[in-house]
Structure 1
Amino acid sequence: MNPGSSKKTEADQMPPPVSSTHAGAADGGEGATGIGSHTSADDLLAAMGYKAELVRTRSTWHVAFMSFVLASIPYGLATTLYYPLQGGGPVVVIWGWVIVSLIILCVAASLGEITSVYPTAGGVYYQTFMLAPARWRRVAAYVCGWAFVVGNITITLAVQFGTTLFFVACVNVFESEPGVGVWQAETYQVFLTFLAITLFSNLVSAYGNRMLHHLDTFAVVWTFAGLIAIMVTILALAREGRRSAAFVFGHFEPTSGWPAGWSFCVGLLHAAYATSSTGMIISMCEEVESPATQVPRAMVITVVTNTIGGLLFLVPLMFVLPDLASLVALPSGQPVPTIIKAAVGSSGAAIALLLPLMVLAVLCGIACTTAASRCTWAFARDGAIPGSKYWKRVDPARDVPVNAMMLSLAVQVVLGAIYFGSSTAFNAFSGVGVITLTLSYAAPIAVSMLEGRTQVKDGKFYLGNSLGWFCNIVAVGWSLLAVPLFCMPSYIPVTITTVNYAPVVFVAFIAISSAWYYAWGRKNYHGPPTEQFVAGHAVGVSNHETSTSDSDRRVE
C-alpha cells in the first residue's frame, strides 16, 4: 500500500488494483501451474478479503472450453433461430449474428480488463464495488450483484427449458403421419421433461465437479465434429435444393408485425441469448490457477471462436432453408430439426445430425448450472441474499456450494411453472436472462468509465486508452439498447398467452431485491470485505467487523 495515500480524505480513497499490488501473484508466474500458482492465486484472493474455499483445478484452456460450452454454439443458436427468422429471415440470422458478436467482443474485452485487476468469484458485483466512488458503491454493488445472480439463474433456466423444447422437436422428426410428430407433448409432459433435465444437470454438477473440465474438453471436440458433419451433409444432399448467395446474405422478409427496422432489432435476441454467457465464466475465478490472466484471455478467445463456429452453422442452414413462412408457423418454435430433415430427406439421418446438438445441450445445462451456483454462493458470502448463512456454505467433501446450487434449482423450478400459463415462457426466460446479465456486465464498465478508467491501467489485460474507451462505449451502449429491446414481444398483435413476460419477471426480482435491501440490507449489508498484506500475510479487516459507513474501508 502507498503510505502517502493516508493524506486523502476517507471519501476520496479508492481500493487499489489488487493485481498491481501483487503482480507476481496475479498470474502465478504467467502461466505457472501446480502448488506455487495455487498459493499465489489464493494469496491474491486473500488480498481481496476472502478465504480460499474452492479447489483450483482449471487451466486457461479449461476455462476457455467451459466458456465455450456456456455459450454452446451451435446449440444456443439452434434453440432461438425462430426469432431472427420471424424478425426478417436470413439477413437477421447472418448479419445479426456478426453484429452482436462484434459487440460482445467489446464486452468481453472490457470485462477482461477489469477482471485482470479484480479476479474473484463475485465477478462484476465485486468489481463494481471496488471501482465505484465510496458514497454509492454499496448500492451500486448490491444492484449489480442481484442482476448478475438473477441473470445467471434465468439464463440457466432458459437453457434447460430450451433444451426441453428442442428435444421435443428433435423427436418429432419422426412422424406418425405427414406433418404430425410422434410426440404431441402435453404441457405437463414438457414441464416434467424440463424437471428431469434440470435435476440431471444439478446432480452432475454437484457430484462430478472434479471431472467437469474433462466434459468441457470433450464438448469442444464433439461440437466441431458435429458442425462439420451438419455442414457437409446438408450442403451435399440438399434434397429441396439450394438457395442463392443473394438470398442467404441479402433476403429480408419480416413477419413479426413490427416495423422493418425494429423487427430486425427484436430478432437480435437470437444472437444476444447465445452470447449472454460471456461474463458468467468470471464466477469460476476461484477455481482457476491464474485467474488474472487466464479468465480474460478465455473470454476473448471464446467470443472469437464462437463467432466462427456460429457462421459455420448458420450459413449452411440458410442455403438449404425451406419456405420461410412455414418455419415461422411451426407450433414448436424450433425450426432447426425441420430444416435439417428437409435437407437430408430422412428422419433417421436427421436425428443422427441432431444428436451432437442434443448432447451439447445437456453439457451446456451442466456448465450453466455450475456457473450459476458459484455466483449465487459468492453473493451470499457477503450477506446479500436472504438466508445467506445457508447459501454460503461449501460442501467440503465435494468442494461445491451445494446449498447455493439448490437455491438456484428451486428458483428455476418455480419460474418454469410459468409455462403452464404462457406458450412463450422460453422467450421470457431468455429475455430476462439477457437483460439482467447485460446490465450486470455494464455496471463495472460504466463505473470504470466514470472514474476515468484509472484503476484498470495496472491490470494484466489493459487494452490501452483508445481501444479501451471504444470497447467500453460499445458495451455500455449495447446495454442501453438491450433492456427495452428484449422486453418487447417477438411479434404482434399480442395475446395473454403470447405476451413477453420478461418485464414481469425482471420487475419481480427488482421488487424482491429492493424490499430486502430496505428491510435489512441498508443497515446490515456492507459489501465485500477489504484486506491488506502485512509482512507477506493477509490480515483481514472485515467490513462487517469494522464500520457500517458507506465510505471506503481500505486499511492503510
Structure 2
Amino acid sequence: MSSSSSKGASPPAIDSKRLESNQLSSVEDTADHLLETLGYTPELSRNRSTAQVAFMSFVLASIPYGLATTLYYPLLGGGPVDIIWGWVLVSLIIICVAASLGEITSVYPTAGGVYYQAFMLASPKWRRIASWITGWLFIVGNITITLAVNFGSTLFFVSCINVFEKEPGVGIFAGETWQVFLIFLALTLFCNAVSAFGNKWLPWLDTAAVFWTFAGVIALMVTILVLAKEGRNDAKWVFGHFESFSGWPSGWSFCVGLLHAAYATSSTGMIISMCEEVRDPATQVPKAMVATIVINTIAGLLFLVPLVFVIDDLQALAELVSAQPVPPIIKSAVGSSGGAIGLLIPIMVLAVMCGIGCTTAASRCTWAFARDGAIPGSKWWVKVNKTLDVPLNAMMLSMVVQIILGVIYFGSSAAFNAFSGVGVICLTAAYGTPVAISLLSGRKQVRRGKFYLGHLGTFCNVITVAFSNSIIAIAK
C-alpha cells in the first residue's frame, strides 16, 4: 500500500490560488454563456468584482458632488426641509427603482440594459418600438447626464476659485462664457482620455473614490461644525424650517426642489451598461445598485445636515448669480478663503472622478445600441479597440456629441439646467419603461431571476412607475 493511502496520511495539498482562479473562470464562463444565449458574443474583459461594481455605481452618483452642484434647487424650493427631507424621500424611492431594475437585470444582464430588457419583456407586437424608444431615451440620457456632470463641474470649479475675492463680492476669476466653455472642453477631453487609456485601472480608481469621499465629507463636516464662524442654526430650524424663494405655491415648490436629489440619483441604472465587464452580472449588478443607494443616502446626509446647520442667509444664497451656494456656505463657515478651498478640493476631485465614470458608462451603452444596428453608421461605432479593451469609436461619438451640445452655452447661460433636465427626464423614462412593462405583464419573466423579490418587488415596481411619471412632469 502506498504511503498516500495509508491510515493517517495527509490529503494532497490544495493550491488555493489555482482553485480561486478556476472558480472565477467558471463564473465568467457562465456569464459569457448566458450572454451568448441572449444573442451576443462576449467581447469585453470581465474584470470587475461586486465591490468594484458598487464603487463604480457610487462614483456615477458621486455624492456629495452631485448634491453640491444642484443644491440651488431645494434651496429655492423650500430651504432646509426640501434639502434634507427631500433627499431622504427621493433616496427611499430610488431604492425601489434600483430593486426593480435589479430584478430585471438579473434575468437580462447585457450592456444594452433597459432597451434590451424592454424588448424581451414586451409582447412581440410592440417589442421593437418599445426597445427603440427606450434605447434612444437611454442613450440621450447617458450622454446628456455626462454632459451635465462635466458642465456642472466646470461651473462648480469657477465658484470654488471665486472663494478668493478681489474685493467683497467680486471673485478673482471672471468666468466669461468662453472661459467656462474651455474649462468644460478640457475636462471632457481629460475624462475621455482617462476612460480610454486607463480602463484597466478604473476599478481601482472607483475604489479609491469611496474612501476619498468619506474622508472628505468627514473632514468637511467636522470643520464647519466646529468653526461655524457665523454661528449655528438650531435643530428645529434645520429639520423643520420651510421657506420658498421660487415664487411657486409651497407644495409645487417643494416638488421642484426634489430635482436636486433626482439629478444626484439619476445615474442609478447607468451601471447596467457595465454588465459585460462583470464576472457574475446576474447577481453582482442588482446587489451593487441597491447597496450603492444605501451608501449614497448616508453620505448625502453626512454632507447636507452640517451644511444646513451653518447656512447663514438663505435670501442671499437664493440670489446668487452663480447658482452655486456650497462654496459661499463653506467659506462663511470657516471664515477664510484658504480654508474653504481646502475643504472644497475633495469635492472637486470627486467631480472629475464622476465625469470619468459617466464617460465610461455612456460609451458602453452607445456601443451596445450600435451593436444592435440602432445608430446610423453602427458598423463603425461597434468596433472594440483590442489594445485598450474599450469601444473607443463609440466613446469618441459620445464625446463629440457632448462637445457640440456644449456650444449651446454660448447662446444661453441656463444651458446646464437644460442639460441636467433632459438627462433626468430621459434616464427616468428609460428606467420606468421596462419596469412598467414587467408590471403590466404580471412580472412573469423576473420570477426566474436570481434577484427575484416577490411581493416586495411588486411594491417597488409601483413606486418606480409612479416616481418616473412624477419626475418627468416636474422636470418639464
Band the TM-score falls in, shorter-chain normalisation: over 0.9
Aligned counterpart, 1:123: 113
* Equivalent residues in 2 for 1:364-383, closer than 5 Å: 364-383=354-373
RMSD of the TM alignment (CA)? 1.3
Alignment equivalent of 1:469, drawn from 435, 458, 462: 458
Deviation at 1:399, TM superposition (A): 0.9
Cα gap change, 1:373 to 1:93, in 2 (>3 Å): same
Q: Equivalents in 2 of 1:335, 1:322: separation in Å?
A: 11
TM-aligned CA deviation for residue 330 of structure 1: 1.0
Quickly say closer, same or farther: Cα 1:326–1:31, change in 2 above 3 A.
Answer: farther
The one-letter code sitting in structure 2 at the alignment partner of 1:365 is G
Does structure 2 retain, via aligned residues, the 8 Å contact 1:33–1:289? no
Offset at residue 34 of structure 1 (A): 2.7
In structure 2, the residue matched to 1:208 is 198
TM-score, normalised on structure 2? Answer: 0.95
Q: Does 1:486 align with 2:461?
A: no
1:425 to 408, 415, 420: 415
In 2, distance between residues paired with 1:130 and 1:43? 18
Task: List 4+ stretches of structure 1 deviating above 3 A.
Answer: 29-33
Gaps of 5+ in 1: 1-28, 488-556
Q: Which amino acid aligns with 1:405?
A: M
1:89 counterpart residue number: 79
The aligned amino acid for 2:466 is G
Return the alpha-carbon distance in structure 2 between the equivalents of residues 185 and 141 of structure 1: 42
State the shift of 1:482 in Å: 1.1
Cα deviation code 1:231-278 (max 9, x no counterpart): 000000000000011111111111111111111111111000000000
**Structure 2 counterparts to residues 12-51 of structure 1, below 5 A:** 34-51=24-41
Contact 1:156–1:372 at 8 Å: present in 2 too? yes
- Given the alignment of the two structures, is residue 269 of structure 1 paired with residue 241 of structure 2, yes or no? no
SS of the residue corresponding to residue 34 of structure 1 reads helix
> Residue 259 of structure 1 aligns with which residue?
249
Amino acid aligned to 2:457:
G
Picking from 322, 344, 364, the partner of 1:332 is 322
1:293 to 283, 288, 312: 283
Letter in 2 for 1:327: L
Match for residue 407 of structure 1?
397
Match of 1:156 in 2: 146
Name stretches of at least 5 consecutive residues in structure 2 with no aligned partner: 1-18
Match for residue 142 of structure 1 among 122, 128, 132: 132
Looking at structure 2, the residues matched to 75 and 168 of structure 1 have their Cα atoms a distance apart, in angstroms, of 14
Equivalent in 288, 293, 301 of residue 311 of structure 1: 301
TM-score, length of structure 1 as denominator length: 0.81
Is this contact kept in 2: 1:30–1:290, CA < 8 A? no
Deviations 1:166-215 (A, max 9, x none): 00000001111111110011000000100000000000000000000010
Query: How many residues matched?
Result: 458
Give the aligned residue type for 2:313: D
Distance 1:31 1:371, change over 3 A: farther
Mapped partners of 1:135, 1:415: distance in 2: 35
Distance 1:416 1:91 in 2: 33
Counterpart-to-counterpart distance in 2, 1:116 and 1:31: 24
1:33 CA displacement? 5.2
Cα deviation code 1:68-117 (max 9, x no counterpart): 00000000000000111011111100011011101100000000000000
Distance 2:85 2:131 in 1: 35
Aligned to 1:101: 91
Letter in 1 for 2:239: F
Whole-angstrom CA distance in 1 between matches of 2:452 and 2:27: 22
- Equivalent residue number for residue 193 of structure 1: 183
**Aligned residues: percent identity?**
71
1:388, distance to aligned residue in structure 2 (A): 0.7
Shift of the alpha carbon at 1:478? 0.6
The match for 1:349 among 339, 343, 348 is 339
Q: 1:132 maps to what in 2? A: 122
Q: Distance in 1 between matches of 2:297 and 2:101?
A: 18
Q: Report SS of the residue matched to 1:116.
A: helix
Residue 373 of structure 1 and its aligned partner are, at CA, apart by 0.2
SS at match of 1:133: coil
Paired with 1:52 and 1:183, the residues of 2 have a C-alpha distance of: 49
